[in-house]
Structure 1
């Protein structure tokens, strides 16, 4: 096979979470339920925010986008996984694998950037409350969202295009339930130095800088809250960023778990659990975290129900 000629590539094989036949119906029911809960929960958050005029603020504007990204994030992997289980197949075409990998990176990166933007929003709201409406104006919020899209699109496109230059061996087994960038690159027969370099650089930069921004924002937030004299004022300030902090901890905690649990042993149980937590459980829990800890969202749900 000539390098760069992908016309006759065989299918990639997604080994999934388990090869035991008796577990497949259980996995199908479990992940179908989780996908439906994720889709419905995030869709309700979007509907509540768009239909309630009281929620047309920067914080909820970003939250509605986060919910949309989470729906897209899970939709890049779970439908294909469920279809493979139901049809008792494991294959995914080369084109579909590249497409899935691209959109997975895109929405994972968008989640990452948006959590950083939301941390900045909370920083301005608590540390500079008198200037909040001036700083977080609709135009600036739109620019922050646009910048997140542009950076995420460029990062995903760069890594995907670099994969297209690779030639692959005949053994194309991926030890996950979706086409993950590192796994696909490891299967290549050609030199992957440039792919590895760009992958580590983008992962490092897009991981370190947003996380640093979040930590800086919350350092300033905590410092400002501690200066508040009344206990009620401190509680109110903490409550405005409690949901976001919970989501940030869940997102980065599971993402870190994916990398820490990665090992030379393919399809390790630790890696599988970490990937499920990162790609499925986190997007599913986000709506619950925001709806259970946020009085405005609860009120919007009650208004819709009456």
Structure 2
């Protein structure tokens, strides 16, 4: 039976306008970078996706290479969409990206028109949909003219295969030029997706200013630093954690190097009566440029823990100062 959505799903979620566009995104969005590939359990994938939608998370973020194996996150999401959420397609914002290695040979990665548009067609086929709401250039290509990369995004929008164009992992200078080109091509840049968290604050050095000037929304990914900004690693490396997975990005050394900061931050979170993960999300949401924050989840319990940040009291100046001292 197709899923029957919770009729109260919009009552507790907040939605923010994305840059100067008319699109509003939920305060928290669900990213399928981890836990949604063929190496994971489909029943769990389905449960997390349906629970997220029932809690007002309308934005689902993917990329062509999400898995593992690459492409499998899109395929699994497509199954859930077809079997359970098809009736709610117009209530969903679905995004995907292209830029990293997806297939062998000279046309399987980076930012050429050939690669980007071929990848978009493959993504649509895997998800069995006619269009995505947002199509991103996943990374800047230093060897392809930016006019070509942005031209491919604009073409995707004008062809109806995407409603909006976005960029990810672009520097402030690259963002300024990409925004200019897309504006001139009639497909303004909707959103920028950078990595940003307490342990990686690079966007504060110029990018947030550019986003303000250009009217571009911001949706940070890896807000919990691959799970380091949680209670999972306060004592050891759990066997089922990201740091313990051979195919994961988080390594044990990174956890050990940051452990003193993590423990100190956890003390502040406990004083607030908040989990470390929820406080880390609250900290990101303090920035006015942030439209939404991309969270991951390996279970519905973890999803609910992250959602605690929605209604939490904002961090006060004393708390923010204490956090800055820890992070220096």
Is TM more than 0.5 here? Answer: no
TM-score under structure 1 normalisation? 0.26
Bigger fraction of residues in strand: 2
Bigger fraction of residues in helix: 1
TM-score under structure 2 normalisation? 0.25
Larger Rg: 1
